[in-house]
Amino acid sequence: MKKTANLPHNILLNTPTTLRGKALQTLSIGVSISETDPGELQALGLSEDHLQNVMLEIARQCLAQGATLVYGGDLRPNGFTENLLELVRYHNDALKKEYKPVVNYLAWPLKSTLDVAWAAQNKDALKVKVIDAPSDLKQAGLIQDIANGGDSSGTSNYVWARCLTVMREAIVEKTQARIMMGGRTLGFKGKYPGLVEEALVTLTAKKPLFLLGGYGGASRAICLALQGQQLGQLTEQYQCSNNSYANLLREFNQRITEQRLAIEPIDYEAVVNIFAKFGIKGLNNGLTEEENLGLFTTINHDEAIGLILTGLSKIKA
């Protein structure tokens, strides 16, 4: 354990050197990272490279402790999934480590990003799981099958939203904790901003959630909402400034009502209230309120890693 002067009352943290061997051996951990809204990181004196490098270092420390990392996203060149793959392969091949392959979940429309031959070549470092679309979409004739590597450009925003939700639910079901940072609050595909929905699903399932809010984005908005603060980004008025999303909101709520689907409508007031009701205690991540407040604001990656490993080690114990 080590002390840190930057957090209140010299909180004691676990570090990679204080944990023994494969301390996180049986844990599957979801990692959520995406770019923030344009200009936000720059306003904080940070960059997208900084955001990704911090999460890659957190990933490396979790992998070194024997954890399995699970990520939901596409396989575009230079994306976070590809960087995770390179991290695993470098340590396994060059440094003779035993890092477990990363598990990558793809929502149904993202089959278009999957090159089966490439996935087979990289199976030592990456396992890909495509999550099927909800059955009611097929029954309603809203989708036709997409071949791996096919064209998903005609997929409607409603179908995207439903498919992303079931992918996120599948990840939460198969993981024991989630680490989250960054995230857009505008210009996304889905029912809600991606990390907002992932946080809702994680908290509702009572799975541990670690939030790094110091890098802005949806993660910061969630941190504030958990503390009962009202945020402009998490309002229907703000979100519907994007005409495409305004159309999705109307279509989504209309379809689930007409088809009598057991799905909650898009409702930002309800989302904010849910976060406030869970509060910091609802994170269920092994950290005290004081430690979580430190994680909400720190941009020191050593502190962040120390807090996350501290919480994960308590969860594992």
Could you list the mean pLDDT of each consecutive 10-residue stretch along the chain, which spans 317 residues?
46 50 87 88 86 90 93 75 84 79 92 80 88 91 72 85 97 97 93 97 98 95 95 95 97 96 97 98 97 96 95 90
Q: Residue 235 belongs to a domain with what CATH number?
A: 3.40.50.450
In a domain, 71, yes or no: yes
DSSP for 32-75, please give it.
Answer: EEE--STTHHHHTT--HHHHHHHHHHHHHHHHHTTPEEEEE---
Give the model's pLDDT for residue 14: 52
* Within a domain: 284: yes
Is 2 contained in some domain?
Answer: no
6 located within any domain: no
Please tell me the predicted confidence (pLDDT) of residue 21: 58
DSSP secondary structure letters along 211-262: EEGGG-HHHHHHHHHHTT---GGGSHHHHTTSHHHHHHHHHHHHHHHHTT-S
Phi-psi region of 187 (alpha: psi -120 to 50; beta: other; left: phi over 0): left
Whether residue 183 lies inside any domain: the answer is yes
What separation in angstroms does the CA of 241 have from each of 26, 117, 236, 247, 251?
A: 44, 41, 9, 11, 16
Residues 145 and 149: their CA atoms lie apart, in Å, by 12
Q: What is the pLDDT of residue 281?
A: 97
Rounded Cα gap, residues 177 and 70, in angstroms? 10
Dihedral of CA atoms 7, 176, 48, 154 in degrees, nearest 10, equals -150
Q: What total of structural domains would you count in the chain?
A: 1
Q: Is residue 141 part of a domain?
A: yes
Q: Whole domain around residue 50: which residue ranges?
A: 25-316
How far apart are alpha carbons 156 and 83 in whole angstroms?
Answer: 29
Tell me how far apart the alpha carbons of residues 205 and 191 are, in angstroms, rounded to a whole number. 18
Compute the distance between CA of residue 109 and CA of residue 50 in angstroms, rounded to an integer.
29
- Within-domain flag for 81: yes
Q: Is residue 7 part of a domain?
A: no
- CA distances to 76, 117, 120, 126, 194 from 111, rounded to whole Å, are 12, 13, 15, 16, 18
Q: What is the pLDDT of residues 27-70, one digit of tens each?
A: 999 999 888 888 888 888 888 888 888 999 999 999 999 999 99
**Predicted local distance difference test score (pLDDT) of residue 78:** 66
Q: State residue 313's pLDDT score.
A: 93
